[in-house]
Amino acid sequence: MSFSDSDSSSAYGGDYRNFLQISRERLLHEMLRSAKTGDSKSSWKVLIMDKLTVKIMSCSCKMADITQEGVSLVEDIYRRRQPLPSMDAIYFIQPTKENVIMFLSDMAGKSPLYKKAFVFFSSSISRELVSHIKKDSSVLTRIGALREMNLEYFAIDSQGFITDNERALEELYGDEEDSHKGDACLNVMASRIATVFASLRVYRMASFY
């Protein structure tokens, strides 16, 4: 899927930035750089991601870009990690129950893995999961940010992106009796395309090829 150059130009006050640049700047400036503000005094931070958000980040940013924004270590949320109680952590994760449970496990109790957590979800989080986070008072005091980035697509070039649905044809046009797979696939693609519009801040001139 691609967008016209005029969309990116008009959405950002006439200063043209291609799709890849917009995605990169959102990740580096809107997410990573924002964690430097407030009462965060740590010069270096840990970036924690899941399998999907690692791909999103790697499509738009290089490791040198991430390091320049104060990230000294990149970790997988599902791997055993060394406690770094003197450092802040930036979580860029999908808003799933499993990820929220892992995040709470990291930051709860008397000995959290990190000093403070800046949490950025790749798409909209449900009210139920937000309520689940709020229930743990020990975690709330350690949260520096809790935001929806609405960035859940893969920027492949200056004007194109993919939603990473490799089995879409099979799920959409396969077994007619198993329609729930097709519905689930459409919902995922629609949700991810919606985050593209959120990044571009435009709602028109989308073309399928």
Residue ranges covered by each domain of the chain: 17-154
Q: Which residue has the higher pLDDT, 31 or 8?
A: 31
Output the pLDDT for position 164.
73
**13-17, 57-61, 62-66, 82-86: range with lowest mean pLDDT:** 13-17
Q: What is the mean predicted confidence (pLDDT) over 174-203?
A: 71
CA distance 153 to 148: 14
Q: What is the mean predicted confidence (pLDDT) over 105-123?
A: 95
Instruction: Report which of 96, 95, 90 is spatially closest to residue 42, judged by C-alpha positions.
Output: 90
Output the pLDDT for position 209.
46
Output the pLDDT for position 176.
60
Average pLDDT over the chain, rounded to an integer: 83
206 bridge partner residues: 3
Output the pLDDT for position 163.
75
Output the pLDDT for position 171.
58
DSSP-derived secondary structure letter, 36: G
CA distance 151 to 153: 6
CA distance 2 to 207: 6
pLDDT in tens, 31-70: 999 988 555 555 899 999 999 999 999 999 999 999 999 9
Q: Which residue has the higher pLDDT, 164 or 41?
A: 164
User: Over 60: is that where the pLDDT of 124 sits?
Assistant: yes
Instruction: Report which of 132, 75, 145 is spatially closest to residue 104, judged by C-alpha positions.
Output: 132
Question: Is the CATH code 3.30.1490.20 the one for domain 17-154?
Answer: no
Output the pLDDT for position 204.
53
pLDDT in tens, 126-146: 999 999 999 999 999 999 999
Instruction: Report which of 152, 143, 88 is spatially closest to residue 119, judged by C-alpha positions.
Output: 143
Supply the pTM of this predicted model. Answer: 0.80
